[in-house]
Structure 1
Amino acid sequence: MAALAPPVAAVRVAVRRALTGLPGAGPVLVACSGGADSLALAAATAFVAPRLGRRAGLVTVDHGLQPGSAERAAMVAGWAREQGLDPVEAVPVRVGGRPGGPEAAAREARYEALVEVARRHHAGAVLLGHTRDDQAETVLLALARGAGPRGLAGMPERRELAGVPLLRPLLDVAREDTRKACAALGLTPWDDPHNADPAYARSRVRADALPALVAALGPGVVDNLARTARQLAADTAALDALAAAALAGPPVPLPQPVDGSPRTASVAGDRPGAVRPVRAAEGGLAVEALAGLPAAVRTRVLHAWARELGASPAALSHRHVAALDALVTDWHGQGAVHLPGGLPVVRRDGRLTT
């Protein structure tokens, strides 16, 4: 009996780790374009899932952006059925007319399709084929764009979209290993020409920026960038939890006076490690309680509160949150902060309110 190729084993181990303990009895669906990463993921899932007592299926999305895309999607679906994957769907989507650039529009259309199929089949999760190299590219792009810790945390291993768990089992697997896994299994992946198109920032990072860093600093750069994302993701989750606790706490009455007199508020409540509730009993957020939070927690509270008020997450920017924060930390009688959608927030009687 021939020994299992190490890259094949690496992908299967990653999939087994992701699926072990996954709640629910529904199938898992692999999002597969036919590229090396998602093809290796689909092959591994077809092998691993039944051995864990779970059905595995596949969804391939036809964005309609290239000649022959429908035929290619049909070929991927046909291969999946030959592998015993079930259910299998090839889903056409419409990308044109959506806001944002072509990459963002295609991504939005793709995720909408994946969620719709997952819900229809009561899937336990959708598996995505992003690799360690994809994570490193994401961190570099976020750094170049001046993103904060949330952006530098990269892509999460697990998140929910409209109630559907999205899993990325391959974030610790090298892109090279997915190609080697496909070769070992006799699979011929499709190379998306968009991935080499210099019109896209990610393609330039992939072709030029990351290889230049590897050449200058050594091959460990890719793993180090991915490890940085994992560390920042853990820190971000902890800060997000503190912000959520501050917003979820019981409403607090406002002390008088607040505006016009400097105060120092305690960061914690009665318990060590606790954060003070920030919702004012009179409505809105209490300025004194906000001022007592560490900046990293306070800005998260303000971001979450702005979304609560109806600000679009896509349009809500650092600039809006910084302006809200100035109402707390740099108050000099300034006027309203206008959130996306024209919603005004003002400081009045010791509160931030609409």
Structure 2
Amino acid sequence: MTRLPRLNPAVARTRRAVREALAGAGSAPGAGEGLVLVALSGGADSLALAAAVAFEAPRLGLEAGAAIVDHGLQPDSAGVSEEAAAAARGLGLDPVTVERVSVPGNSEAGPEGAAREARYAALEGVRSGLGARLILTAHTRDDQAEQVLLALARGSGARSLAGIPRRRGPILRPFLELDRSTTEAACAAQGLSPWRDPHNSDAGYARVRVRDRILPVLEAELGPGIAAALARTAELAREDAEAFDDMVAETIEEIVEPAEAGIAVSVAALAANPAALRHRLIRAVAAAEFGSHLSREHTLAISALVTDWRGQGPIHVPGISVARSGGLIVFTAHR
């Protein structure tokens, strides 16, 4: 009997991750035709993802293509994009699309944020234009750990600590439980040559400093497994954040009422809720009704109208004035 060669463990892990993610997204075997796209940069993570999707998608009755975004931020970025496109075609992905974007240099989001916004806008444009069901991105457990540390450094809440979601709309991330060494090993085992992004070595980026300096120190001082522990923290924070979101959605309809030139919320109803839920309700009203995203300080100042009322107010926050009037907290837009 002919003995089949043993599949490389790293390749097996990438394929299983893709298979389970697609099945969980409603793309199980026999689910019918459809197109999924890999967001491909040419780096080890996305190249390993492209290879796994090229292998698994046809077995699930799906077509698989690739979308490459050229940010134009580096010399010969067009050549890098074309090499990535050639690699995608070599793996059997079709269609393969290269999109050139312009990244503004003066964005409030900073260079990383501006590039990310441009990239996702381009990916969504390609997905919509081709009628694809999903875009798969190659974020790994290491990316998740970096995201959580950055959120901790900013003093962010549970929503930010939840990190990178496995699924958001048409975006699916199958590799969040795999580490970067697995994707690199999968590429090596399949004879794939990843592109090395010089930005990934540029200490001018906070994410690079976390990756190259902070995480290694934490591993050395606290022991191995820090990235996995941070990823677990993200999962726990996400569960809590989603539970609170559901509670806010259920509660807000019961306690909000129209007011002259604004919205009013019952003081008694806000006071009856624990601080974590009360603060979320205040932020939800500000965001949903006025498009205002409150800081922690703004939220606490408004909350004090409920819990520490001494006749103070109104509270002026971005785009809104908030005052207590009898048994109501009244939000009105700035005039």
TM-score between both structures, scaled by the size of structure 2 = 0.90
Unaligned runs of 5+ in 2: 28-32
1:4 corresponds to: 7
Q: Which amino acid aligns with 1:180?
A: A
2:57 alignment partner, one of 27, 49, 56? 49
Matched, 1:335 2:304: no
3-state SS of 2:255 partner: coil
1:140 corresponds to: 149
3-state SS of 1:91 partner: strand
2:191 corresponds to: 186
Matched, 1:219 2:224: yes
The 5 Å alignment of 1:222-233 reads 222-233=227-238
Contact 1:196–1:203, Cα closer than 8 Å, also in 2:
yes
1:292 corresponds to: 272
2:30 corresponds to: none
RMSD in angstroms over aligned alpha carbons? 1.7
3-state SS of 1:284 partner: strand
1:167 alignment partner, one of 146, 169, 172? 172
1:114 alignment partner, one of 106, 120, 123? 123
Partners of 2:258 and 2:125 lie apart in 1 by 40
Partners of 1:57 and 1:318 lie apart in 2 by 43
The 5 Å alignment of 1:86-97 reads 86-96=94-104, 97=106
> CA offsets per residue over residues 248-283 of structure 1, 9 Å max, x none?
3xxxxxxxxxxxxxxxxxxxxxxxxxxxx3213655
TM-score between both structures, scaled by the size of structure 1 = 0.86
Aligned pair count?
A: 319
3-state SS of 2:215 partner: helix
3-state SS of 2:323 partner: strand
Q: Which amino acid aligns with 1:308?
A: A
Contact 1:26–1:121, Cα closer than 8 Å, also in 2:
no
> CA offsets per residue over residues 7-54 of structure 1, 9 Å max, x none?
111111111111004348531111111111111111101111110011
Q: Which amino acid aligns with 1:198?
A: A
Partners of 2:37 and 2:292 lie apart in 1 by 29
Partners of 2:258 and 2:73 lie apart in 1 by 53
The 5 Å alignment of 1:230-249 reads 230-248=235-253
Higher helix share: 2
1:257 corresponds to: none
Q: What fraction of aligned residue pairs are identical, expressed as a percent? A: 53
Displacement of 1:323 in angstroms is 2.5
2:37 corresponds to: 29
Contact 1:23–1:124, Cα closer than 8 Å, also in 2:
no
1:347 alignment partner, one of 324, 328, 332? 324
The range that moved more, 70-79 or 177-186, is: 70-79
C-alpha change, 1:320 and 1:111, in structure 2 (3 Å) is farther
Matched, 1:62 2:70: yes
Matched, 1:280 2:289: no
2:108 alignment partner, one of 87, 99, 102? 99
Displacement of 1:304 in angstroms is 1.5
3-state SS of 1:280 partner: strand
Partners of 2:258 and 2:287 lie apart in 1 by 20
Partners of 2:290 and 2:74 lie apart in 1 by 37
C-alpha change, 1:240 and 1:90, in structure 2 (3 Å) is same
Q: Which amino acid aligns with 2:59?
A: R
1:306 alignment partner, one of 286, 291, 294? 286
1:204 corresponds to: 209
Partners of 1:151 and 1:49 lie apart in 2 by 32
2:161 corresponds to: 152
Partners of 1:166 and 1:129 lie apart in 2 by 11
Contact 1:182–1:188, Cα closer than 8 Å, also in 2:
yes
Partners of 2:102 and 2:119 lie apart in 1 by 9
Displacement of 1:207 in angstroms is 0.4
2:299 corresponds to: 321
Partners of 1:72 and 1:312 lie apart in 2 by 40
